[in-house]
Structure 1
Amino acid sequence: MLSLIFLITCALSWQECLATAQNSTYFNPVLSGWHSDPSCIQVDGTFYCVTSTFIAFPGLPIYASRDLINWRLISHAWNRESQLPGASNQTHGQQEGFYAATIRHHDGEFWVICEYLGLPGGMLATIFKSSDPYTETSWADPITFITPAGDLDLFWDDDGKLYIPAGGAVLLDVDLATGEILDSTALWSGTGGVWPEGPHLYRKDGYYYISSAEGGTELGHYQVMARSTSLTGPYEPCPYNPVLTNKGTDEYFQTVGHADLFQDLSGNWWGVALSTRSGPEWSIYPMGRETVLFPVTWDEGEWPVMEPVRGEMSGWPLPQTDRNLPGDGLFNADRDMYDFPAGSRFPLNLLYWRAPPEGAFSIAPEGGLRISPSRANLTGDGDELDGRLGISFVGRVQTDSLFKFQVLLDAHPPYVDHEAGVTLFLTQNNHADLGIVSRAADSCKNSTERVLRFRAVGDTAPPENIVTVPETWGAGPILLTIEAVNATHFTFLASSDSQTEEPIEVGTVSGRLVSGQSGPFTGTILGVYATCNGSGDGSRCPPDGDVYVKRWTYAGHGQLYTSSEVRPSSNYTSFGG
């Protein structure tokens, strides 16, 4: 009977039924974990995205996908400190650096534009270009100029002339050879919401469309649009503004905004935006601002209609699943399994908080990741040790609601209060660490012993806990574990590599510690660090403190797509009517 009804209905409207039958189902976020301010394009059937990275290094990751679901990290636009020399160690704030990146393709080249905040000379506009985004070294040193407005876009008009739209819907005409701003034109004042930001300019069906975000990047975030038949206006606001938001709802996905729109090869429109899996209670959201995907209906001469962001989405037919992409970077949903064999390349998905100290990390000749400790620790106390000269800390973004992160660490800190360990890190003001620490031994006046120390920094930090390393573990490497056991808490465990079945639980921390707080634009990083906690002088610790990562693993165990529903930690898509 249902089949008969379906056939009769299709006879009346076969196009509508065919579209329904071919609709795709997928889950958000498509780039899970900290991926703020997404911007995406499609070039010859491959999609490319960039996201903001603030003071993390390398910065401005470039992802590629052929199916909109499987995204491979292929390079970073900022991958050499020399591309912007001295910027990292001049940037003091935890939420400065590269903001609101846009990616575009023009005349065979990929362009990435954004602003860098925190430098003494003012807000620095940067434009990175590459003819081959799969090769890190192809990203040239940036074109730079001081900009009066941030959140920059790239727009080539019909005559091929480049303009740079900026926050507050200001259109900049810039001489890229000299950095001189030739003209600045206000296009549209927006709808009156606070902090108009992230503008993008599109040309379609005889109109210029401006899309920008308003309302701040928290629960009040939303997207608005306006259009004009002339580049310089006047611009008519969309009568249906806001065109995209979850403001004022009880949806699990909140803060939706800072959107960018693009087409697939079939001509279907899609959009990406940032969103936070927090629910309206806005309390625990350790992965911060993530990238979500939504279908867009944009008929000729009409305003675009954007599908509201949910955890489970249905929309246009997705391209056929395809992970056949160049490069050796991980796909966003893949697990880490690294033992750093001699001569191997450094994994592309690992990052630092600012550019690292010179020589702090290397692959040892005998294998393993060698880390030379820094004087600055993760907290960075005082001007000399605030971390601007680099911290010996390397990590990866938390990309799953439930996960297990483990590091087999060979660490024998030679001096009292030297340490190495693993960390759940938001910024230098909010993190929780499990370290192998050297302290004076009670049994012998001039000797030291290893202890496990759990401690956290932040308003909701639990008490410090110290546990003596059991004698039965001997002097071998120690397996340190951070595990998200549920949606709200992380546990910190340690064991000997030969006794992993009975780990010691050294600490537990609420996800509130790494949600918002001092890092409202970022998300949690899981990593390993080594520090002499300020001993030594200049930029150097006392000698003989190197530690070795023998094994590094990260595995996702589940993704929340509503406040109570979990799916397996793998990208998923299905087709059907």
Structure 2
Amino acid sequence: MAKLWALLLIALAELSASRAWPGDRPYKDPIIPGFNPDPSCTRVGDQFYCVNSSFNTFPGIPVYTSRDLIHWEQIGNVLSRHEQLPQLAQVYGFTSGIWASTIRYNNGTFYLTTTLVWDKFAADDPTRWDNMIFTTTDIYGDNWSDPIHFSPLFQGYDVSLFWDDDGKTYVQGSHAWHVSPGIWQYEIDLSNGSISNSEVLWTGTGGLAPEGPHVYKRDGYYYLLIAEGGTGVNHMVTMARSNASIHGPYEPYTHNPVLTNANTTEYLQTVGHADVFDDTEGNVWAVALATRNGTWDYPMGRETVLVPVVWETGAYPLFNPADPLRPLAHPDGGVLVGHDQTITFSPNRSLPRQLVYLRLPNPSAYILAPPSNPHSLCLIGSAANLTGPDGISGTSTFIGRRQEHVEFTTDVDLQFSPGQDGEEAGITVFLQQLQHFDLGVVALNGTRYMRVKTTTHNSTDGDMADPLSRPGMVELPGNVGHDLKLRVQAVNASTYVFSYAESGQGAGEGWNVVGYGDASEVSGGFTGTIIGMYATGNGRNSTSQACFSTFSYRGVQNVY
């Protein structure tokens, strides 16, 4: 904290008495909670729009909107159709998939630039990076185009568009830092993705992996904002600017970094990868990624936070890492980000846009409201379980929503009668294929069990022994029917509790605890936890349907 305030005092010394913070807008960080890293936002009229990375999840690249920067709603996903990016089905490794996206608006069209990353390819393999552009003139709903791919390939990621006053369009990107770290720029033809006239704008201040570039033009200067230090506890935001030319030279700010919580004990850590925009009142804001309690228990991963900014004429912007404030009120009505959600499946309603799969799903494995179960989502278990054949590839039958609160309760009703040994269905806390906690009904040697498996870097004995978590298994008595309730609760920042009850029990009655998960074991990496439903045959395709109904997620709002 001392370093952060020292940086602020230097910057504050440059402020005149007339300068003011845009601090009268109450808000609570993170403004877009849960697995929502690498934010980019833009304003069109009085409406704000933000997008985030999605890695291996599908639908991908969630799109959020707000009018007040406090209450956010997911209005769609850029990737919503299999045919847009069929390669996503083949991407392997939990750090692969869709990396940072940038959203911009120009002449009536929204532009989304992003990168499909094959992160297991060699660092110097240029085919590791597939950069592309999506467009839409109707951002409400899943109306985005098929991608236009960059040509030739750009050996990098984190691409961002800028339209200059001379009519030319430029794209900035982060060159693969293992090969040649730095921020590169090209002219780009948006109609076909062709890039030309490469140039290196800046290599940063010396921090690891200069990335996440955005260019802004103000008062005759071109400002280049980037992230450095890697996306961990050394993460930071730095800036440079050029006088009168987008081509540079770019001179670094003497008081870099402009935003960081590195080397502090602040609760929000890994702050970086920012984007800047204004509101209708002339105030300037930034979004950035951050993790809560970012050194131990942070299962939700990197989330989106809001930072007020003062940007005076001819000066560098001053970021104010203020303590988060609580919103004044919560609206009633639709499902907003950070609010409770109860999903009741029906034949007349499509699946909520908050639900995601692992990679591209097999549509035949998800049966919405069949005649035999008209208020259920019935899953047919894949041969692959949530770990998959090798821990980095494959697609299992799984669907869920992001964890958004430190403490929460999720309940779901399950109707499932396994027809063969190994068939399993239940609820999971899923970070990635080698880090997940599963509560499920499973058939073993002709007997039904309720089992909690903790798949972690520490687990042994088929994920039934763990030094931190407590997996468990109990036989289901013969008089227990096939209609059950499953529950996962995050009772504090470090503990998940898994339990079940027979259908028909009261809300607080009959719950039997089966096991516990330690949140530190589903923390780390690029993504965040998803609370979901799954079904598997554990090595062979299932023959029995697992029908889920009334999936509810209830967060504890006053626990930060």
Distance 2:96 2:197 in 1: 27
Q: Does residue 247 of structure 1 match 2:238?
A: no
Instruction: Give 1:171 deviation, angstroms.
Output: 0.6
Local SS of the residue matching 1:187: strand
Q: Does residue 134 of structure 1 match 2:132?
A: no
Which aligned runs of 4 or more in structure 1 are off by greater than 6 angstroms?
A: 15-22, 320-324
Local SS of the residue matching 2:99: strand
CA, structure 1 residues 129+399, in 2 after alignment: closer, same or farther (shift >3 Å)? same
What does residue 417 of structure 1 align with?
422
Distance 2:335 2:381 in 1: 27
Instruction: Give 1:81 deviation, angstroms.
Output: 1.1
CA contact (8 A) 2:287 2:305 kept: yes
Query: Mean alpha-carbon deviation: is it higher for 526-535 or for 492-501?
Result: 492-501
Distance 1:470 1:287 in 2: 36
What does residue 371 of structure 1 align with?
379
CA, structure 1 residues 454+201, in 2 after alignment: closer, same or farther (shift >3 Å)? same
CA contact (8 A) 1:67 1:322 kept: no
Local SS of the residue matching 2:520: helix
CA, structure 1 residues 196+433, in 2 after alignment: closer, same or farther (shift >3 Å)? same
What does residue 546 of structure 1 align with?
545
Local SS of the residue matching 2:27: strand
Distance 1:345 1:96 in 2: 29
Instruction: Give 1:22 deviation, angstroms.
Output: 7.6
What does residue 64 of structure 1 align with?
65
Instruction: Give 1:558 deviation, angstroms.
Output: 3.4
Local SS of the residue matching 1:513: helix
Which residue of 449, 452, 457 corresponds with 2:450?
Answer: 452
What does residue 49 of structure 2 align with?
48
What does residue 380 of structure 1 align with?
388
Instruction: Give 1:84 deviation, angstroms.
Output: 1.1
Distance 2:306 2:502 in 1: 43
Which residue of 223, 226, 240 corresponds with 1:212?
Answer: 226
1:120-150 alpha-carbon deviations (Å, 9 max, x no partner): 84311111101011021x2110111222221
CA, structure 1 residues 542+531, in 2 after alignment: closer, same or farther (shift >3 Å)? closer
CA, structure 1 residues 83+338, in 2 after alignment: closer, same or farther (shift >3 Å)? same
Distance 1:240 1:422 in 2: 49
CA, structure 1 residues 21+291, in 2 after alignment: closer, same or farther (shift >3 Å)? closer
Which residue of 307, 311, 315 corresponds with 1:294?
Answer: 307
Letter in 2 for 1:469: L
CA contact (8 A) 1:90 1:118 kept: no
CA contact (8 A) 1:329 1:349 kept: no
Letter in 2 for 1:414: G
Q: Does residue 187 of structure 1 match 2:201?
A: yes
Q: How does 1:214-293 map to 2 (within 5 A)?
A: 214-229=228-243, 230-279=245-294, 282-293=295-306
Instruction: Give 1:88 deviation, angstroms.
Output: 2.0
Distance 2:249 2:21 in 1: 39
CA contact (8 A) 2:168 2:187 kept: no
What does residue 565 of structure 1 align with?
none
Query: Mean alpha-carbon deviation: is it higher for 109-118 or for 178-187?
Result: 178-187
What does residue 114 of structure 1 align with?
114
Local SS of the residue matching 1:28: coil
Letter in 2 for 1:515: S
Distance 1:264 1:465 in 2: 52
Instruction: Flag structure 2 segments of 5+ consecutive residues without an equivalent.
Output: 1-15, 122-126, 175-181, 460-465
Count of residue pairs brought into register by the alignment = 515
CA contact (8 A) 1:169 1:199 kept: yes
Local SS of the residue matching 2:254: coil
CA contact (8 A) 2:399 2:533 kept: yes
Letter in 2 for 1:513: E
1:455-503 alpha-carbon deviations (Å, 9 max, x no partner): 1111244354210113443x24111100001111100001012235021
Tell me the TM-score normalized by structure 2. Answer: 0.88
CA contact (8 A) 1:344 1:363 kept: no
Letter in 2 for 1:450: R
Distance 1:186 1:321 in 2: 47
What does residue 10 of structure 1 align with?
none
CA, structure 1 residues 458+375, in 2 after alignment: closer, same or farther (shift >3 Å)? same
CA, structure 1 residues 322+270, in 2 after alignment: closer, same or farther (shift >3 Å)? farther
1:236-278 alpha-carbon deviations (Å, 9 max, x no partner): 1111100000011110001000000000001110000000101
1:370-426 alpha-carbon deviations (Å, 9 max, x no partner): 11111110011249xx653x2100010000111001111111110011100110110
Instruction: Give 1:188 deviation, angstroms.
Output: 1.3
Distance 2:310 2:166 in 1: 27
Instruction: Flag structure 1 segments of 5+ consecutive residues without an equivalent.
Output: 1-14, 441-447, 536-540, 562-577
Q: Does residue 160 of structure 1 match 2:144?
A: no
CA contact (8 A) 2:21 2:309 kept: no
Q: Does residue 467 of structure 1 match 2:467?
A: no
Q: Does residue 513 of structure 1 match 2:521?
A: yes
CA, structure 1 residues 267+286, in 2 after alignment: closer, same or farther (shift >3 Å)? same
Distance 2:331 2:369 in 1: 32
CA, structure 1 residues 175+410, in 2 after alignment: closer, same or farther (shift >3 Å)? same
Identity %: 40
CA, structure 1 residues 387+410, in 2 after alignment: closer, same or farther (shift >3 Å)? farther
Local SS of the residue matching 1:169: strand
Distance 1:452 1:407 in 2: 15
CA contact (8 A) 1:257 1:275 kept: yes
Instruction: Give 1:17 deviation, angstroms.
Output: 10
CA contact (8 A) 2:472 2:515 kept: yes
What does residue 496 of structure 1 align with?
502
CA contact (8 A) 2:399 2:532 kept: yes
Query: Mean alpha-carbon deviation: is it higher for 115-124 or for 299-308?
Result: 115-124
Letter in 2 for 1:404: T
Instruction: Give 1:182 deviation, angstroms.
Output: 1.4
Distance 2:405 2:92 in 1: 30
Letter in 1 for 2:454: A
Local SS of the residue matching 2:273: strand
Letter in 2 for 1:79: S
Local SS of the residue matching 2:313: coil
CA, structure 1 residues 343+156, in 2 after alignment: closer, same or farther (shift >3 Å)? same
CA contact (8 A) 2:380 2:542 kept: no
Give the CA RMSD over aligned residues.
2.3
Which residue of 468, 491, 497 corresponds with 1:485?
Answer: 491
Instruction: Give 1:98 deviation, angstroms.
Output: 0.8
Letter in 2 for 1:288: G
Distance 2:329 2:495 in 1: 34
Local SS of the residue matching 2:448: strand
What does residue 12 of structure 1 align with?
none
Local SS of the residue matching 2:83: helix
Distance 1:178 1:205 in 2: 32
Letter in 1 for 2:378: R
Tell me the TM-score normalized by structure 1. Answer: 0.85
What does residue 101 of structure 2 align with?
101
Distance 2:354 2:548 in 1: 16
Instruction: Give 1:181 deviation, angstroms.
Output: 2.5
Letter in 2 for 1:479: K
CA contact (8 A) 1:253 1:310 kept: no
CA contact (8 A) 2:423 2:542 kept: no
CA contact (8 A) 1:40 1:262 kept: yes
1:490-544 alpha-carbon deviations (Å, 9 max, x no partner): 000010122350211000111011101xxx1111110010001112xxxxx253x
CA, structure 1 residues 335+143, in 2 after alignment: closer, same or farther (shift >3 Å)? same
